[in-house]
Amino acid sequence: MIISSGRSKIRSTVVVLAAAALTVAGAVTILAGSTTAEAATWNAGVEDEGADCPVSLPGSTAANSKLPDPFTKLDGTRISTQSDWRCRREEIKQLAEASVYGEKPGKPASVSGTVSSSGITVSVTDNGRSSSFSASVSLPSGSGPFPAVFVLGGFGADTSTIRASGAAVINYDPLAVGQEGTSRTNKQGAFYSIYGSSSSTGILMAWAWGVSRMIDVIEQSDGSILRADATGVTGCSRYGKGAFVIGVFDQRIALTMPIESGSAGVGAFRSIATEGGAQPLSSAYSEQPWLGDAFGSFTSNPSGLPVDTHEMVGMVAPRGLFIMDNPYIDWLGAKSGSVAALGGAEVYKALGAGDNITYWSDIQDGSHCAVRPEWKTPLQQNIQKYLLGTGNDPGTFKISSSAAGSLSQWRDWQTPTLTAGSPTPSTSAPSSASPSQSVSPSASSNPPTSSPPASTGCKITYTTNTWNTGLTAAVTIANTSSSSINGWKLVFTLPSGQTITSGWNATYSPSSGQVTATNVSYNGGIPASGSVSIGFQASHTGNTDSPASFTLNGATCTTA
């Protein structure tokens, strides 16, 4: 099929929308499609191939509690051919900028820089202002030019497998382009040095702009070290949010791989607002200026949004997309992530690219941003397919039964059959390629009693991922006593300079000094020889040490 005139082409067979749905080992597993791709180049060759499409945004849109129909244009008509998607995608892009992320400026007046075997430098001038930033590069063995994966923030990504698969790693510090810890009226970083500290654009979009400018520099280089036509992006947690937005808004990214991105990431906004334990939209909006300023009016009214993240998933199509989620940490909203992925997969299938999306939340290790063995093989396969052009493994959906969203609950539209000629919209029920949602969520633990009983034995496993000014801590509380615990309080003292900014699976008070983590309603019960996992994100001033000791319900715990 032809995605755009005069640009990258992907020829594929007609997709048969009859993928099998299987339940294996507690996970919902689906084949993502049955496309046979024949092209080795998966990007569009341009940052935004629909930039020439005329778009007139409405002053307002009607509230809709369901996921908006990605196939219905702003004029109320539905697209009928695959080539129609180019301009429909542009409509979604501009709606997303206006209501969710803020505007991503086009290519600046001047972009220059260097590419070496150890780094990339970028200098940008626009609007009479200039800024610069850089990133380090780690090459794989062998001779170039190499495909490359932008890794945000330096943790959570399996960089050893990326390099072993033959791709370079570009270590991108997005905080140099859009800082965290600033107010919305005083945003800082290379992006805001040019477009103003009061810009309404959120820092996720600023981070995306930074990667786009690095790709500009790679395109301008002699091509002997890095390939501009084979780039990917990945990151975990807040950097998973960034990786997702980067892949959505630059069609030169051939492979997008967000990890545990949570609220403001892949998870559908409408679903997050109803998912117990997921980070509320208001919290994601206020925690950092990740989202654009305009999103503030939708935090308590997501049904008023003219778009949702399933359409951003669709904006990545037909390029490679590998979404990794963690069902163990409710704060991350994995159920809503599966809803968005399933909705976006309908766009992939309509474009004949159903094999190009993978969603995976069926994992064993619940630690936040862990490098997981379940993801190693699909990571290798995706790099081979989209960056090296040496493989053609189909994408799959492996959804944890404990965090399986129901697309049918969230949509009232059907997926059309997009053709190269006259329209032939589907009149059948929603595609059977969506997984069965008959699985039951995991049972909640017993709620706490009003006065937690003392623990007679406990063991704490405490692991951290750190970066320049922040860290995440994953904490496992194991009950080593012979009786169950029904309600718990874990007390520990944070090292000097550490302050908790957000947490999951517990309430934390205060945010620094001696902290008490108290169970929430669904995890107060810890059976004998059982455990619960909690965690938090914190800022630090250089001291990344772990707490010296922990007490659970007054009893001192051992540490692993």
- SS3 letters for 328-375? CCHHHCHHHHHHHHHHHHHHHHHCCCHHHEEEECCCCCCCCCCCCHHH
CATH level 3 topology of 21-410: Rossmann fold (3.40.50)
For residue 474, name the pLDDT band (cuts at 50, 70, 90).
Answer: confident
What's the average model confidence in pLDDT over 303-329?
Answer: 98
Specify the higher pLDDT residue, 38 or 284: 284
For residue 124, what is the enclosing H or E element?
A: strand 119-126
Q: Which residues contact 12 (CB under 8 A, 6 or more apart)?
A: 1, 35, 36, 37, 38, 352, 353
Give residue-wise pLDDT tens across range 14-65.
222 233 333 333 455 444 443 333 333 578 889 999 999 999 999 888 999 9
Q: In this predicted structure, which of 91-100, 355-364, 466-475 has the lowest mean pLDDT?
A: 466-475
The confidence score (pLDDT) of residue 27 equals 55
The confidence score (pLDDT) of residue 533 equals 80
The confidence score (pLDDT) of residue 502 equals 76
The confidence score (pLDDT) of residue 41 equals 55
Assigned token pair, 31: 């084949």
Q: What is the DSSP string of 492-553?
A: EEPPTT-EEEEEESSEEESSSSEEEEE--TTS-EE-TT-EEEEEEEEE-SS--PPPS-EEET
Cis peptide before 145 (omega within 30 of 0): yes
Give residue-wise pLDDT tens across range 53-107.
999 999 888 999 999 999 999 999 999 999 999 999 999 999 999 999 999 999 9
The confidence score (pLDDT) of residue 535 equals 81
Each domain of the chain, given as residue ranges in start order, spans 21-410, 458-559
What's the average model confidence in pLDDT over 337-345?
Answer: 98
The confidence score (pLDDT) of residue 444 equals 30
The confidence score (pLDDT) of residue 532 equals 84
**What percentage of the chain has pLDDT greater than the value 70?**
86
Give residue-wise pLDDT tens across range 190-222.
999 999 999 999 999 999 999 999 999 999 999
In sequence order, what are the beta bridge partners of 471? 466, 538
| CATH code reported for the domain at 458-559 | 2.60.40.290
What's the average model confidence in pLDDT over 375-387?
Answer: 97
Q: Which residues contact 76 (CB under 8 A, 6 or more apart)?
A: none
The confidence score (pLDDT) of residue 537 equals 79
For the cut 80, the answer to whether the pLDDT of residue 3 exceeds it is: no
Residue 486 DSSP SS3: strand
For residue 4, name the pLDDT band (cuts at 50, 70, 90).
Answer: very low
The confidence score (pLDDT) of residue 60 equals 85
Q: Helices 238-249 and 309-316, interaxial angle, to 10°?
A: 60
The confidence score (pLDDT) of residue 21 equals 35
Average pLDDT, the chain: 86
Give residue-wise pLDDT tens across range 158-193.
999 999 999 999 999 999 999 999 999 999 999 999
HSE on the CB side for 68, CA within 13 Å?
Answer: 28
**What percentage of the chain has pLDDT greater than the value 90?**
76
* Length of the chain counted residue by residue: 560
Nearest to 397 by CA among 30, 1, 14, 17: 30
The confidence score (pLDDT) of residue 132 equals 98
Nearest to 15 by CA among 396, 418, 332: 418
Active site residues: 237, 368
Rg, C-alpha atoms of the chain: 23
For residue 270, name the pLDDT band (cuts at 50, 70, 90).
Answer: very high
